[in-house]
Homo-oligomer: A and B are copies of this chain.
Amino acid sequence: MAGVYTPPVQTLIDELGRLPGVGPKSAQRIAFHLLKLPAADVERLASAIHEAKERVRFCERCFNVAEATLCPICADDRRDGTILCVVEESRDIVALERTGEFRGRYHVLLGCMNPLEGIGPEHLKIRELVDRLRGEPVEEIVICTNPNTEGEVTAMYLARLLTPLGLRVTRLASGLPVGGDLEYADELTLGRAFEGRRAVES
Binds B, one of A1-9, A139-147, A173-181: A1-9
Q: Which chain B positions have C-beta within 8 A of A110?
A: 36
Per-residue interface assignment for chain A, residues 11 to 52, with 1 indicating a CB less than 8 Å from any chain B CB and 0 otherwise:
110111011111000101111111110010110111011111
A side interface size, CB within 8 A: 52
Of A42, A49, A67, A72, most buried by chain B (CB within 10 Å of CB) is A49
Residues of B within 8 Å of A52, CB to CB, are: 8-9, 11-12, 31, 34-35
CB of A134 within 8 Å of the partner chain? no
In the bound complex, residues from chain B placing their C-beta under 8 Å from that of A20 are: 26, 29-30, 33
* Cβ B21 vs Cβ A49 within 8 A: no
- Judge whether B8 and A35 touch: CB under 8 Å: no
30 intermolecular pairs with C-beta atoms under 8 Å apart:
A1-B94, A4-B94, A4-B97, A5-B90, A6-B56, A6-B66, A6-B72, A8-B48, A8-B52, A8-B56, A8-B67, A11-B48, A11-B51, A12-B48, A12-B49, A14-B48, A15-B44, A15-B48, A16-B45, A19-B30, A19-B34, A20-B26, A20-B30, A29-B91, A32-B89, A34-B53, A35-B56, A36-B110, A45-B49, A46-B49
